Each structure stands twice: as structure tokens, then as C-alpha cells.
């Protein structure tokens, strides 16, 4: 009986602390967690809903990240790889790979910029939603503090964060075209020692290569 009472007290205390948590502190804890990492990987499911076309697309795949603007996002439809200097975009269906120079453009979406820029660029509000379905503790609604190139990409955003390791388990955002994208993450691993070779792309045989680095300047 005493053990059951202690367990109930722990559950109640945890629930109250979650309800009274500062949204800003939750984001800052998440940022500190990601900033301390050398690499991270996860499986993901991506659902894209086009409001006006009334179409939904669902993809799944894996994402790997490493400090130095390096990441690799793979699905059945596309593979996006960058080593911080070069970007490869491979589409198996068309047997084509686009190669371009990596540009640190604040208006371009990237996993590391999104994770590390949230506390700085957005104001957070704690929502009363059941987050347990995705293994999270907090659901935050985010609104841009000021209009920057990165915040102009999003009309609204919500994130699901766990206090177990201060990682995001789910993110939902709607862009200016009313297209809503939802990422759900699982099998998250940190500092597993991802090799640098994971962020270089080897072009498969019989694949057309379009090297945009060799394209002539506009107007010529």
C-alpha cells in the first residue's frame, strides 16, 4: 500500500511539474541537449497535407546529422546528402542526381538550423494536449518573435518534446501555402559515432548527373 501511494505521488508530482513548466525553459533545455551532441540519427515518418489540392503524401525514412552542417535524409523517394560543402539530391525514380554547392542560407530549411534556432527565433506557448502517444511530455506552439528569413518559412509550428532526454519526438508546421508537414521521430540515437563517409554521396551506376556548380551565371 505504501509503495502504491509513493508511486501515485511521483506521478502526480511529474504531472504538475509538466503543467507548470516554462515553455522557454523547455526549448532552452532542448537546445542545450542538441548543442552538446556531435551526431544524431533517427527514423522518421513524414506526412504532407496540401490544403487546396486536398492531397496527402506519406513518406518514411532515416535522418542522420553531424556537426558542421552535415546531414543525410533518406527515403524511398529521395536521398538528400550534404557534407557542409557539397549537396547531393538523388531521385531513384528518375535515376538522376543533382549536385550543388552548399549554401548557409537562413531561408533554407535544414535539420540543424531548425533545432538550434527554435529558442532564439520563436516564442513558445505550452498547450494542454495529450503528448503521450508519441512518447513526449510537452506540446509547444511556436510563433516567430520577429520576422526573419528563417521564420518566414512557417505560418505556424508545434513541437512535441520529452523531458527524458529533451529531444523532439514530433514536429508539425504549416507554410505560407497552407501546406502542413508532420514529422514523427523514433529510434533516436545520440553520439553513436557516425562516420564522415555517411555525409558523402556515391553516385550509382547508370545515373544521370546534373552538376549545378558548372552552370553558367544567370543571364549568360
Q: Each residue of 136-159: b (16+ CB within 10 Å) or e?
A: bbbbbbbebeeeeebbebbbebbb
Query: Do the Cβ atoms of 139 and 157 come closer than 8 Å?
Result: no
Q: Considering only CA atoms, which of 76, 77, 83 is closest in space to residue 99?
A: 83
Q: Give the pLDDT of residue 6.
A: 37
Other CB atoms closer than 10 Å to residue 12's CB: what's the count?
10
**Domain residue spans of the chain:** 22-214
Please check whether the domain covering 22-214 is classified as CATH 2.50.20.10. yes
* CB-count burial class (<10 Å; 0-12, 13-18, 19+) for 82: buried
Query: pLDDT 10s digit of each residue in the chain, 220 long?
Result: 434 333 333 332 333 344 456 888 888 888 788 888 899 899 999 899 998 878 899 989 999 999 888 999 999 899 999 999 999 999 999 999 999 999 876 545 555 555 555 656 677 888 877 777 777 788 988 887 766 555 566 778 888 988 888 888 888 988 888 899 998 988 989 999 999 999 999 999 999 999 998 766 555 5
Query: Do the Cβ atoms of 61 and 42 come closer than 8 Å?
Result: no
Other CB atoms closer than 10 Å to residue 16's CB: what's the count?
10
Q: Give the pLDDT of residue 30.
A: 82
Phi-psi label, residue 41: left if phi above 0, alpha if psi -120 to 50, beta otherwise: beta
C-alpha cell at 210: 546534373
Amino acid at each position: 500500500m505504501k509503495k502504491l501511494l509513493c508511486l501515485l505521488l511521483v506521478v502526480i508530482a511529474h504531472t504538475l511539474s509538466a503543467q507548470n513548466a516554462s515553455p522557454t525553459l523547455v526549448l532552452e533545455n532542448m537546445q542545450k541537449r542538441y548543442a552538446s551532441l556531435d551526431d544524431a540519427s533517427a527514423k522518421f515518418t513524414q506526412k504532407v497535407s496540401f490544403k487546396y489540392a486536398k492531397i496527402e503524401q506519406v513518406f518514411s525514412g532515416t535522418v542522420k546529422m553531424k556537426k558542421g552542417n552535415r546531414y543525410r535524409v533518406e527515403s524511398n523517394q529521395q536521398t538528400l546528402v550534404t557534407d557542409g560543402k557539397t549537396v547531393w539530391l538523388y531521385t531513384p525514380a528518375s535515376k538522376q542526381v543533382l549536385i550543388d554547392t552548399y549554401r548557409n542560407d537562413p531561408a533554407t530549411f535544414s535539420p540543424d538550423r531548425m533545432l538550434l534556432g527554435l529558442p532564439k527565433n520563436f516564442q513558445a506557448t505550452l498547450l494542454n494536449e495529450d503528448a503521450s502517444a508519441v512518447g513526449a511530455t510537452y506540446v509547444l506552439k511556436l510563433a516567430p518573435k520577429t520576422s526573419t528569413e528563417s521564420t518566414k518559412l512557417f505560418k505556424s509550428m508545434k513541437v512535441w518534446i520529452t523531458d527524458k532526454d529533451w529531444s523532439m519526438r514530433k514536429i508539425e508546421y504549416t507554410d505560407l501555402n497552407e501546406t502542413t508537414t508532420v514529422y514523427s521521430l523514433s529510434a533516436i540515437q545520440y553520439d553513436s559515432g557516425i562516420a564522415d563517409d555517411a555525409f558523402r554521396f556515391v553516385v550509382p551506376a547508370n545515373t544521370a548527373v546534373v552538376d549545378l556548380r558548372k552552370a553558367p551565371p544567370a543571364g549568360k
